[in-house]
Chain A
Amino acid sequence: MTSLLRHQAYEEERLQRVAEKLPCRETQAGTLLSLMGQPQQYSYPSIFIYGHRASGKSHVMQVLLKELELPHATVSCVECVSVALLFEQLLLSFFGCDAASLLPRSPSLSDFVRIYRQQCSQSPAKQTRYIVMEKAELLRDTDANLLPALLRLQELVEDNVTIILLSEIVWDKFRPNTGCFEPLLLHFPDYSKGELQQILSQDKHPSYSAEFYSSYINILLGVFYSVCRDLRELRHLAALNFSKFCEPLADGKVKETDTHKLWRNIEPHLKKAMQTVYLREVSSLQWEQMQQTEEKETGTVRGLSAHTHVELPYYSKFLLIAAYLASYNPARTDKRFFLKHHGKIRKTNFLKKNEKTSNHLLGPKPFPLDRLLAIFYSVVDNRVAPTASIFSQISSLVTLQLLTQVSHDDQLDAPKYKCAVSMDFMCAISRTVSFDIVKYLYDFL
């Protein structure tokens, strides 16, 4: 198989090795290689590579720079909370730790350029030096002069250096106000379904055949492709669920080629994975444990978020219900829902309920404490005295973040709250106290 990567500066076998490590990315690697040119020649001062997550940007850069043994420095902008860390790392990679120690205490860009110039007059670049900066969108949040200066670094230090920025965000959102040196823009397109299949099938398990694994990948992609195309996530999901997929095979119930039965076995499991592991509601460790104990108990998976398994006392549940009703019903409709004899309802001032202004779409509204208590007393079956225990339950609901306090902490006499739970949670809670909440909601009239 002839290599798709060809360049006169490097031998064929080397490029062949590079191409093997970069499946489905040969075109982009070829473009980069031709832009980089011969190692001793100059290259364009700055290149901006953009593309989705896990589309191979860092991987291609690393493989190219390492295999072709070009002098480079890779920096992730997430690590560089201060510019000093960035400068140190660059000087360290190119000139060694003596140069890095020349930096003063809190170096400015001016110091960095000065030391770089000194160092490169002693050891000029025989080959183009590459600086690869990952997650470059974080550079926008640092000093305003850093990004334009880095784009022009070749001109400022008068050395053969090229900056390569990798980011998920498009260049239009990076441009400073008065403009800057425009880098060359390169796009790394996303992988197609076939390419994803090809790459994921490379992780095959040694004790099973390649076709078996690729039929598994096919099923996995069928479930997850419409939701997620991130290669990393899919690989993680494939690794987690493979043992479950092979279970019927290990038990001897089905053969390798019985794809239909295997699919029937794994599909509900994958659907459950989408609701839990994919959302990181459960950790991967919990998921694996759960898979092993599944035959013994069929309890629901305990999610990581608080809302799935919180147990509230009786009055707290009613307080929460009252808070939900107060948030999502407009105040003028309280009379209709909560008074026994509310008389006639005037029709004239009622605006026709527009779908957009349905309160469930706009979000919860703040309500004062008095209104909450009024609704609470009318909702609870028996008579309740306003003791301190009721009020302390309200505070604990705020601590559990089921209610949010909207008013300032200083306001003690008329605090305002908002209800911060979803409809599904509310329905579950009200079912436990046999309260039909839908009947009391204005939006569902």
Chain B
Amino acid sequence: MSKRKVKDDHMPVGECITQVQEVFRERFCCQKLPEQPEGVESQHKHLLELLKRTAVHGESNSVLIVGPRGAGKTMLLKCVLRDLLEEKEVQKNLLQVHLNGLLQTDDRIALKEITRQLNLENVVGDKVFGSFAETLGFLLEALKKGDRSSSRPVLFVLDEFDLFAHHKNQTLLYNLFDVSQSAQAPIAVVGVTCRLDVLELLEKRVKSRFSHRQIHLLSSLTFPQYAERVRTQLSLPDDFPDDKFAQDWNASVKNLCEDKSVEEVLQRHFNSSKDYRMMHMLLMLCLSRVSVAKPNIKPADVLEASKMCFTDAKANMLHGLSILELCLVIAMKHLNDVYEGEPFNLQMVHNEFKKFLHRKSSSMYNFEQPVIMKAFEHLQQLELIRPVDSSSAKTQREYQLMRLMLDHSQIMEALQKYPQCPTDVKQWAMSAFG
């Protein structure tokens, strides 16, 4: 019985599709790290050098990774850490503490988390410390290596760094940067943030202790590079079990990316945002159309997925309104046109609606005031209209001033798609001043 690897066996289509889904879901949904991050080689080298100096040579450092959301900051950091931990010495000595601004909303919580992640809960025990600095100093003391010569290097990763700058007195940041400047213990502080103006948020004393080292991840992709990246993201890796299937798949992906309509779609996505996340969302939606009955991605799938990404949510909600509510929206639009965006209340809208019924309508019935009020409140609940000020105690509900949160073009577009819209309502909407 040959013990050859199953690489050359042909799996049934169902198996192949499951494997395909597995590969791509790991790539798009749980952000599996690529072998080599593309396009950020210099940043990768810089960060790796810096962290190596801390881990191996015991030099303290601080750095900020700055870039818009979805640019790949966390991915870069994780790749660098993975490469760093390949060295045995580093693996043995380096301690990591990962903090997140969303979770550790307070310096006290952050300190507890640091204690926990350094496994020093027993050492701290029930001791009560006077200040944050004392606690931190104590923790770092406790990390001294066996021969009492120097402390083990610690890497602090602060995700959502800008949120830490909102804590009281920025105590955590001050102390961390202070330790990184003094010769107390070798630590590296890596902050990851999406705000480009993060340095403005730091207090003067904190900013002066920071090394002002920033790594920027601003994407400078061109469209051909973007399209190439899409193709590589959609291609199966070489170690896919079924060779023939993988080759067919990759060939069809190549054809797909050369299709004219798909290129237009990708151009549109490229124009709106270049980052990985939007790309992954689009590809995830395309992937969800792959099934046993249809084991590859067609251009129509990409078009559908793109339409789903770019759909106007408010227009979708307008589609589901009742005719009465739609008439109220049109009345509000007319009021906005005539009085140039001044806020209105229910009485004015009702008045406008009554004028329409009186003059032009044949299909709408004159509803009572409470029914109109209920329709108006439904629109308020959907947040399509909003009160101008929140003091609702002193004014009656009919007279509370509101603003319309919809655009002229959104309303006209929604009217086109509205099912069985009576013609007189449509004409009323399109007339200039109601």
Contacts and interface: CB of A to CB of B under 8 A. Distances in A.
A254 B171 CA distance: 83
Contact of B288 (A34, A42, A356, A361): A34
Given A8-B18, A42-B26, A45-B29, A361 B194 contact: no
Given A8-B292, A156-B103, A228 B30 contact: no
A168 interface: yes
Contacts of A152: 102
A418 B285 CA distance: 57
A145 B26 contact: no
Contacts of B277: 181-182
A97 interface: no
A352 B21 CA distance: 72
B291 A6 contact: yes
Interface in A37-75: 37-38, 41-45, 50-52, 55
Given A35-B288, A171-B313, A227 B382 contact: no
B300 interface: no
Contact of B371 (A148, A173, A181, A278): A278
19 contacts: A37-B25, A38-B18, A42-B25, A42-B29, A45-B30, A109-B102, A110-B103, A110-B104, A114-B116, A145-B101, A154-B29, A169-B383, A182-B281, A184-B281, A187-B311, A356-B339, A356-B348, A362-B399, A420-B396
Interface in A223-265: 225-229
User: In the complex, which range does the number of interface residues on chain B fall in?
Assistant: 35 or more
B109 A406 contact: no
Interface in A161-209: 168-173, 178-182, 184-187, 189-190, 192-193
B128 interface: no
Contact of B322 (A8, A226, A422): A226
Interface string B20-60: 01100110111100000000000000000000000000000
Interface in A269-321: 274-275, 278-279, 281
Given A8-B292, A156-B103, A184-B284, A406 B394 contact: yes
A275 B192 CA distance: 59
A108 interface: yes
Contacts of B399: 362-364
B17 interface: yes
B21 A37 contact: yes
Most interface-central of B367, B374, B395, B396 (chain A CB within 10 A): B396
Sort A-B residue pairs by CB-CB distance and give the 10 closest, nearest first: A190-B320, A363-B399, A170-B313, A34-B288, A149-B102, A226-B323, A110-B103, A52-B320, A145-B102, A42-B29
A110 B103 CA distance: 5
A189 B319 contact: yes
Interface in B370-400: 370-371, 374-375, 381-383, 394-396, 398-399
Contacts of A168: 381-382
B316 interface: yes
A361 B370 contact: no
A52 B195 CA distance: 35
Nearest to A363: B399
Given A170-B314, A187-B313, 13 more contacts: A8-B291, A31-B288, A34-B291, A37-B288, A43-B25, A43-B29, A109-B103, A154-B30, A226-B364, A279-B371, A361-B345, A361-B347, A361-B348
